[in-house]
């Protein structure tokens, strides 16, 4: 069977368990679902990891790209002038990095709330 082929499961098994037996299975289960764990354990079937494609807002991507560009510019300047930086330059760099960190946190919070 091809790796990409979808497996359609049509057969169902039902068993009755005591509360203790059910809890024992859940305690031994190492997967997100008991069914997946039982298939792997009893049938030796390995679950292929399916990656989920997450749709991201293009505006968010543009903002992140802009922040990445700012970080690259700061890193380039720091690397070019690291030995000759004055205290004021270092303070300016730290201030810029803190600003970027706050902006990233805001974007992260906004994205979580959507």
Query: What is the pLDDT, as a whole number, of residue 80?
Result: 75
CA distance 16 to 25: 12
Query: What is the pLDDT, as a whole number, of residue 100?
Result: 84
Query: What is the pLDDT, as a whole number, of residue 83?
Result: 66
Query: What is the pLDDT, as a whole number, of residue 18?
Result: 93
**What residues does each domain of the chain span?**
15-50, 58-112
Q: Is the distance from CB of 107 to CB of 63 less than 8 angstroms? A: yes
Q: Note the pTM of the prediction, 2 decimals.
A: 0.39
What is the full per-residue pLDDT of the chain (114 aa) written as tens digits?
445 567 788 998 899 999 999 899 888 888 778 888 888 888 887 766 666 667 777 888 888 888 888 888 877 877 777 666 677 777 888 888 888 888 888 887 877 776
Query: What is the pLDDT, as a whole number, of residue 75?
Result: 78
What is the DSSP annotation of the chain?
A: --TTSPP-----------HHHHHHHHHH--SSSHHHHHHHHHH-PPPPPPPPPPP--HHHHHHHHHHHHHHHHHHHHHHHHTTT--HHHHHHHHHHHHHHHHHHHHHHHHHHT-
């Amino acid at each position: 069977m091809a790796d990409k082929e979808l497996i359609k499961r049509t057969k169902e098994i039902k068993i009755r368990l005591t509360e203790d037996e059910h809890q024992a299975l859940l305690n031994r289960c190492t997967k997100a679902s008991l069914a997946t764990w039982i298939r792997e354990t009893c049938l030796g079937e390995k679950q292929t990891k399916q990656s989920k494609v997450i749709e991201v807002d293009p505006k968010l991507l543009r903002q992140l790209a802009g922040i990445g560009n700012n970080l690259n510019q700061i890193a380039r300047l720091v690397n070019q002038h690291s030995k000759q930086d004055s205290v004021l330059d270092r303070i300016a760099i730290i201030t810029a990095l803190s600003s970027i960190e706050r902006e990233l946190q805001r974007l992260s919070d906004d994205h979580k709330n959507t």
